Structure formats: C-alpha cells, structure tokens
Chain A
Amino acid sequence: MNTTVFNMAVCIAVVGKENSPKYISCLHPEQELQFQLKVHTSLDVVEEKLSSVGKTSGDVRELYLGLLYSTEEHKIFGYVTNTKIKFIIVVESSNTLLRDNEVRMMFRKLHSLYTDVVCNPFYIPCDHVISTNFDTTVKNIMTGNA
C-alpha cells in the first residue's frame, strides 16, 4: 500500500556549547522554521538528560542520548559530545524501518564530520558551519546515501 521511499532523516541540526544554533539542514527547505522550533524545544530534554547523568554518576555516560521525544509525525533523537556540542536528528514517525543502530550510525558519522570541520584551521570554533563538504555529506546522510 505504501510505495514512498523512506528517507533516513528529515532534519539534522548542530547546536553549540551555549545552545546557539550552528547548523541546520532539512530535506524540505520550506519546513525549516517548523524544524527549528522542534530542535530548540528538544534542547530542554537534552539538558534534563545531561543533568540526571551527573546525579546518578556512572549510569549512562554514552554520548548518544537516544530518543528525546516523539510527536505524531516526528521522532527526535539527540547526541551530545564531550565538548557540549549537540547533534539533533529528526526522523518521520511513519518510518518504522529505522532501527536504533542506524540512528547511532548517523550520529557517529555526523560527529566525525564535525570534528573534521573543527580541525580546519580557518574555522573559528563559535561560528556557523558553512563548509560545503559538510553540507553535502549531511544531505547524503539524510537520504541514506552516505
């Protein structure tokens, strides 16, 4: 009945140390505003998860935070690096083919991509990410071609 091709993700965002947006990319650019809202809403959940780790020390010290929250049409996943950079991935809820492992893989790729950007000596750490290589690879991750 359903013949639509599923994308891996519909939106990928990178948020900086002090919760300032660094990068956002959506599969459908006209929805960007809606996704920005979702991404920034999810930052509260990220904060909550991080602080609960501190109290029950040694519990979940993994960088991958798992599902942050889900709405009717979207699921939102989070990942925070040791340097407090947050990666947020938004997935369509109807996409049941997507496993936890694949989401993890996407974050892993995103993280190594980001470290490459930071290691670029011309990149100033607090700036927006404007690398075209980063952009195209993120788009490939979203469509599942990476």
Chain B
Amino acid sequence: MADEVLFELLHSELVSYVLKNSEKDKKHGDLSTLEYVGFSAGYRIIERLTKEWPRFKDELDTMKFICTDFWSSINKKQIDNLRTNHQGVYVLQDNAFRFLTRLSAGRQYLEMAPKYVAFTCGLIRGALSNLGINSMVTAEVQSMPACKFHIQVQRI
C-alpha cells in the first residue's frame, strides 16, 4: 500500500536529517532528538487509539494493547513475543521490524540499526507515558530484521 511507503520514506529522511544536524553540532550520533520526536508522536497517537477502548485493568493489560493494537496500527503487524518478569521489565520482540526489513539481513549494516529503532523507542515511551506509565525504553538488535524492545517501568 502506498501510504505505508510514505511513512517509511519519511522516517528514513527524518533519521538522516537528525543525524546530519547532530554531526554539525559536534554531538556525533546523538539520537535523543529522534527519540523525542517519537515520544511526542506516541503521546498524541495513543489519545486517538484508545478512544473506543474500555478502561485498562492494569499494567499488563496496557502492555498487551501496545503489543497488539498499537503495534499493528503503526507497523501493520503484531509483536511476536512479549515477555515480562512481573516486576516492571517487559521485553517486546519483533522478528521482522518494519524499519529494518529494508536493510540487508546480514551483519553488514548492524551498526546502523540503532538509528532506525530510536524513533520507535520514543513512540512506545510516549504512548505509555500518556497512559500513566513512566518508563525507559531501549532497543537491542542482534540479527538484522529482528529487534527486541526493553521496557523498564519506573515505579515511584
């Protein structure tokens, strides 16, 4: 579908734009701007996505929503695996992460991967933040199109 390509192209342009600027400011490889753009987008988008949704029971219920509906509305697929230690750490695994499937599946561009997952980390963090869960989201890419998102919920 055409509109999916638009988002992918816009995202890759955003990545290269942000990185070019960070090089200019001598902050080499600074991904925080990208993460913040994601945060803002996630914060806003969740307001609309949860409109027709019954109230969430608890944290796990919210996380399941992120893995299924939230993920499929953005990435056209669901998270492949959700794991948790029931103490505020969640690991979301996507075996074919959208922004990485276009890159080589080998090890060639492995060091480029963090640039393409920073936006999505922010997106998850923003969505959770608006739902009342403060968290820290990091990503881990071991073999190319697969990606693991680690969510650490911050308790007060």
Contacts and interface: CB of A to CB of B under 8 A. Distances in A.
A and B together in one complex: yes
A130 interface: no
Q: How large is the interface on A (under 10, 10 to 19, 20 to 34, 35 or more residues)?
A: 20 to 34
Summarize B's interface: helix, strand, loop or mixed. Answer: loop
Nearest to A112: B51
A84 B57 contact: no
Q: Please classify how large the interface on chain B is, using the bins under 10, 10 to 19, 20 to 34, 35 or more.
A: 10 to 19
Interface string B98-115: 000000000000000000
A42 to B, nearest CB: 18
B43 A125 contact: yes
Contacts of A146: none
13 contacts: A57-B58, A58-B57, A81-B50, A81-B51, A82-B50, A82-B55, A83-B46, A83-B47, A84-B132, A115-B48, A115-B51, A118-B44, A118-B47
Interface of A: 17, 53-54, 57-58, 61-63, 80-84, 111-112, 114-115, 118-119, 121, 125
Interface of B: 40, 43-48, 50-51, 53-58, 130-132
